[in-house]
Structure 1
């Protein structure tokens, strides 16, 4: 199982190397039953999600897209996820500072209770590759 919280050293490197807008790709796999809470993992994560969206917006970010994967077309069953979200922040520093607030620390327990595993990928804007040029 992977870690639920970001590696502090990787976060520090991202903040140092990138100061502009960043989109976080969130891949989420929920526990069948929430750990230490009532309900399913998805329900526990929902308690986190309903509050964190307001925090994201308060730091100038926004949820660009969220949904449920329908099918893994390339890959195997270990690549299956329950939910995917794209969340934009004005900078990695804004995301990091949001995570340090007492309000975020209070709701993070629901994220931990609900997630079996997760992948969080920081994506910076880049021109698309055009092989015909």
Structure 2
């Protein structure tokens, strides 16, 4: 399973999609001894995240899902806000970031990085 986006995916992401801030959903499944490596990655990546205007909104352990297909349980969930697609792309291509990506890659057996876009407000309507 993939844990890192490839260059073609990053290039498409950077040039296609809405401008402005977005939140990245991170679903993470650790290798048997991967959590310490991911924690080290997180500590070091926090400096870069701040440098590029990003913000960790939430990080927590996954719990037993109430609704999910087989194999859709996750060890950790993170929500990270970025000011723009350009900021995200610049961060992940920064040479300093590239030096720490091995920590993340070794830590994970599977991952989902899902960019999200806010729903447009509609008077009198709420998502259910």
Normalising by the smaller structure, the TM-score range is 0.7 to 0.9
Paired residues in the alignment total 124
| Structure 2, unaligned runs of 5 or more | none
- The partner residue of 2:69 within 76, 87, 95 is 76
Q: Would you say 1:8 and 2:7 are equivalent positions? A: yes
Aligned-partner Cα distance in 1 for 2:94–2:111: 22
2:112 aligned with 1:119, yes or no? yes
One of 45, 48, 62 as aligned partner of 1:55? 48
Offset of residue 78 of structure 1: 0.3
Q: Secondary structure at the match of 2:99?
A: helix
How high is the TM-score relative to the length of structure 2?
0.88
Choose 21-30 or 118-127, whichever is displaced more.
118-127
| CA positional deviation for 1:110 | 0.3
Residue equivalent to 2:81:
88
Rounded Cα–Cα distance in structure 1 between residues aligned with 2:98 and 2:126 = 45
* CA-atom RMSD in angstroms: 1.8
Check if 1:27 corresponds to 2:27: yes
User: Distance in 1 between the 2:75 and 2:41 partners?
Assistant: 16
> What is the Cα deviation at residue 105 of structure 1?
0.7
Using the TM superposition, give the Cα deviation of residue 99 of structure 1 relative to its aligned residue in structure 2, in angstroms.
0.9
User: What secondary structure, in the 3-state scheme, does the structure 2 residue paired with 1:78 have?
Assistant: coil
TM-score, normalisation: structure 1: 0.85
